[in-house]
Amino acid sequence: MTRPSKLPQIQILRALAALMVAVSHALFEASGLAARTQMPFAPAAWLPWNAGVDMFFVISGFIIVHAAGPLHGRAGARRSFIAHRIARVVPLYWIVTTAYLGAALAAPGLLGGGHLDPALAVASYLFWPMARPDGSVLPLYSLGWTLNYEMAFYALFALCLPLRRRLAVGAVAGGLVLLAALHALAGRLPVPLAFWSDPIVLEFAFGAALGLTRAEGIRLQGAVRLVLAAGGFVLLALAGEPAALPRWLAWGVPAAMLVAAAGLGRGGEPDSAPLRAAVLLGDASYALYLVHPFAVRGVRVLAEATGAASLGPVAVVLAMLALACAAAVGVHRLVERPLTARLRTLLERRLTRMAAAAQRPAR
């Protein structure tokens, strides 16, 4: 299978999305540190930093449609798609979940409050939404809530892969709309269904629609893309945090505008060192999303222990983000990328053998 080329502008947007989430957590930790040291600190509120997650969801819908283009109608399409998605998502998430579990057991409170219920741990590894004792539907490693949505979206997309691309995207988008309608119209739902039907899933539909738009050959002029990007940032800034409107509207629509600006251009390789660095961070954005809490909390603990907190919250935040980015690139290159390639090959071989065995006539 010929793999679609990467889109540098989308990779840069992925870097921005991951950085926004990291900024959110860094500001939270720095605020706590400033309160303990009685230093004045007003966290920057230029953007709703947690909207980086919404950008990720729209990007995911876009990228899946873009990357799965050669698979529609192809024999073994579902096997290949599932193998690629598992290899991409599972290894690093299981590693960080295990690291979090080990750290929480070894030093309770070091990484924040955590629920160590065995059933919750199993559900976390299986990407199954489960309510904690306090009612929040979060996995053991709380950032994994987004991956519970991602894996459900992949499963829905895999079901629709045998269809032609237009029909597949329409079916996926229709399924997501039906889920959101169920959430709004039905009464009390089981926890997994209530979780998966949250209207935030419409953000995947936004991205899928934009991915189909690109696949149909539609491109936007630079001026239009610039207006979309500026409008997206302005709307995010106006929406604030928490947003007055439903999240999928307040943050999802501006995120879709940003993805349209990045994904509907004519592409081209980055021609400057800063842009190439941004693309590299975009390649490592999954690692940045998953490992940054360790870096952020580690810097806070170190600052408290060494007195470096006296340098001020801004310096601490910058140190948190610098360490998070460096750690992410290292984890991406040394752990994520080789593990993904190896597991992808193993899964494709295994699934191919299983499919061949199932097709053999019984003796």
Phi-psi region at 43: left, alpha or beta (left = phi > 0; alpha = psi -120 to 50): beta
- Three-state secondary-structure class, residue 137: strand
Q: Quick check: 256 and 285 in contact, CB under 8 A? A: no
Closest by CA position to 30, among listed 291, 296, 323, 306: 296
Q: Where are the alpha helices (DSSP H) in 126-190?
A: 145-160, 165-185
**Running DSSP on this structure, what letter comes out for residue 71?**
G
**Running DSSP on this structure, what letter comes out for residue 336?**
I
In order, the DSSP letters of 244-269 are SS-HHHHTHHHHHHHHHHHHSS----
Q: Quick check: 183 and 198 in contact, CB under 8 A? A: yes
Distance CA 225, CA 19 (A): 22
Q: Quick check: 158 and 79 in contact, CB under 8 A? A: no
- pTM comes to 0.94
Amino acid at 307: G
Q: What token pair was written down for 228?
A: 């979309």
Distance set, CA 327 to CA 116, 287, 314 (Å): 26, 8, 20
Q: What token pair was written down for 275?
A: 């842009």
Distance set, CA 308 to CA 74, 109, 112, 300 (Å): 58, 21, 21, 9
Amino acid at 139: P
Say which residues have a Cβ less than 8 Å from residue 305's Cβ, sequence separation at least 6: none
Tens-digit pLDDT string for the chain (363 aa)? 445 667 999 999 999 999 999 999 999 999 999 888 888 888 888 999 999 999 999 999 999 999 999 999 888 889 999 999 999 999 999 999 999 999 888 877 655 555 578 999 999 999 999 999 889 999 999 999 999 999 999 999 999 999 999 999 999 999 999 999 999 998 899 999 999 999 999 999 999 999 999 999 999 999 999 999 999 999 999 999 988 999 999 999 999 999 999 999 987 777 789 999 999 999 999 999 999 999 999 999 999 999 998 899 999 999 999 999 999 999 999 999 999 999 999 998 887 787 777 677 655
Closest by CA position to 30, among listed 327, 307, 297: 297
Q: What token pair was written down for 189?
A: 């739902």
